[in-house]
Amino acid sequence: MNNNFIKTVLFIFIVSWSNLAISEQAESAVQVAETQEKADDSEIFGQGWKLVRSPEMGNSGKFVHMVLVDLDKEMDKTVYSAAINRLCGKATDFCRIRFWTQERFIPEKVTPTPEQLKAQKADYLFNPTAGVKKTTWSCKVDHDKSHCVNY
């Protein structure tokens, strides 16, 4: 056989093998990215709570986070604080979180119905433009009538 022929076949083999290796690396990178994306989504939870949805307020770019608190953690305010810190800790202009202990009451939209509002356990609002940073508690969670609300 001709040396040039062998060199050409060898060159084609090496290029094909390199492309296959690059393709496998790219596929592996895509799988890693997809796994990381799923992990990022699943990270929106904490000990005793999880983010269910965040509907947008109109077209404002501002969202209301709807959080489910484990029923057995309903009275544990550290669970609410952990969610507030995780979801609003870096907010600079606006953040709102509404909390429930039963997922069936969590609204699909920003504004809860009267029934959904009655089942709400807490409401956190951070709005520096309006000078507001407060957590309002259901009287079922905080029995102190001076700072709880019967929704």
User: DSSP strand E in 19-114: where?
Assistant: 45-46, 49-53, 64-69, 95-100
pLDDT digits (tens, 9 = 90+) for 100-146: 999 999 999 999 999 999 999 999 999 999 999 999 999 989 988 88
121: its two tokens:
């356990």
CB neighbour list of residue 65: distance below 8 Å, 6 or more residues apart: 51, 54, 83, 87, 88, 95, 96, 97, 98
- Predicted confidence at residue 150, as pLDDT, reads 80
Portion of the chain with pLDDT greater than 70, in percent:
71
Amino acid letter, residue 17: W
- Predicted confidence at residue 16, as pLDDT, reads 55
How many C-beta neighbours within 10 Å does residue 53 have? 14
Measuring CA to CA, how many Å separate 125 from each of 47, 108, 137?
21, 19, 12
Higher local confidence (pLDDT), 102 or 1: 102
- Per-residue pLDDT at 46 exceeds 70: yes
Is there a contact between 82 and 49 (Cβ–Cβ < 8 Å)? yes
- Predicted confidence at residue 5, as pLDDT, reads 63
Is there a contact between 37 and 29 (Cβ–Cβ < 8 Å)? no
DSSP 87: H
pLDDT digits (tens, 9 = 90+) for 4-30: 666 655 556 555 554 544 444 445 443
pTM assigned to the model: 0.70
